[in-house]
Amino acid sequence: MNENSLIDQAESHILHTYNRYPTVFDHGEGVYLYDMEGKRYLDFAAGIAVMALGYGDEEYNQALKGQIDKLLHTSNLYYNQPIAEAAKKLCEASGMDRVFFTNSGAEAIEGTLKAAKKYAYDKDKRTDHEIIAMDHSFHGRSLGALSVTGNAHYREPFEPLPGIVKFANYNDLGSVRALVNDKTCAIIMETVQGEGGIYPATEEFLGGVKEICEERGILLILDEIQCGMGRTGNMFAWQGYGVKPDIMTCAKALGCGVPVGAFVMAEKVAKSSLKPGDHGTTYGGNPFVGAAVSKTLDIFKERGITGHVKAIGRYLEEQLEQLKSEYACITARRGIGLMQGLELSVPVGEVSKKALGQGLVLITAGSNVLRFVPPLVIEKEHVDEMVGILRKVL
């Protein structure tokens, strides 16, 4: 079947919730993707910040193949070796205490919100607790995750959404302070906002929110689904700020391509929140995804991925700043490490479409930001190749 008839087939059976680029990727190698006709694409999107190790990593693939032959799934009624190891490594990497594995980012947010509510409920037995979330945030598409997502367009058709959620302005500490009261049980935010347009938290803001949380006994929830797993040059973005959350969420690059997420909490929350019977999942944390997470964390350590991201991220940032100085249509650059955005005064959708035609995979964020979230294993030559193509497109 050729590409066009395959696209027609997909469009006649798959629910139309995405306006897809008319490209069918067939296989990948390193930081390149290939379509059905064999055309090569440099990948600066990594399947939306998922494929941190790129495509076809031999060591990672072998670990997964081995686990397929051994054991795929048993349910959470029993223990399994790969997930026990993955949990230990995730706790070591974060310095946090307890993990619950999920199948996606949204599901990690759902569990986190339940944990925060239960923690507050256990203290005072009230059921009117409030959560503070941020404008322009993105936490996922399920109802609970939508309830804390600060984007009216995503939310409105599905109102009323669960829980009492109030929205503050990101990086505006006064706006958070104004919403805090004695019913506030948690403040949730991305350490670096992704979908909203690549906005890193300022140090004053994140530090200030942490202070408020400590003063008032409020839980700090940091969503590290996009900015975590080495993307900013630290294993988790909050480590670069020295501000530790009470609960954090992970997904996207956590399993480098298998569907897995997690929420990770401090012992203080674990001790008095979700208990047997309060939460569960059939698939979550099965041996297969356990092998993926465990191997991913090993590879990050052995290959010094975060150090590499620090160096190559600096180079990408310099090159993007250079582009900005050359093109009037680039109005801002923001980001940390290999999570970067260029704000454009021309339609970003057109730019990413043209880039794809030229063999460069780029995605957008917000309404006017070109997003750069490549595999973490890119080298300088790939940054140069990307910039070369982008110059042509611009």
Which spans of this chain sit near ligand PLP (rule: CB under 6 A)? 104-106, 109, 138-140, 190, 194-195, 223, 225-226, 251-252
User: 225 or 330, CB closer to ligand PLP?
Assistant: 225
What span, in angstroms and rounded, lies between the C-alpha atoms of 267 and 249? 15
State the nearest-atom distance from the C-beta of 156 to ligand PLP, in Å: 19
State the nearest-atom distance from the C-beta of 136 to ligand PLP, in Å: 11
What span, in angstroms and rounded, lies between the C-alpha atoms of 198 and 213? 24
User: 150 or 389, CB closer to ligand PLP?
Assistant: 150
What span, in angstroms and rounded, lies between the C-alpha atoms of 259 and 101? 11
What span, in angstroms and rounded, lies between the C-alpha atoms of 130 and 213? 13
User: 145 or 389, CB closer to ligand PLP?
Assistant: 145
User: 45 or 389, CB closer to ligand PLP?
Assistant: 45
State the nearest-atom distance from the C-beta of 194 to ligand PLP, in Å: 4
User: 330 or 339, CB closer to ligand PLP?
Assistant: 339
User: 28 or 140, CB closer to ligand PLP?
Assistant: 140
State the nearest-atom distance from the C-beta of 266 to ligand PLP, in Å: 20
State the nearest-atom distance from the C-beta of 33 to ligand PLP, in Å: 20
State the nearest-atom distance from the C-beta of 109 to ligand PLP, in Å: 6
Q: Name the residue with the smallest CB distance to ligand PLP.
A: 105
β-pairing, 40-43 vs 360-361, is parallel
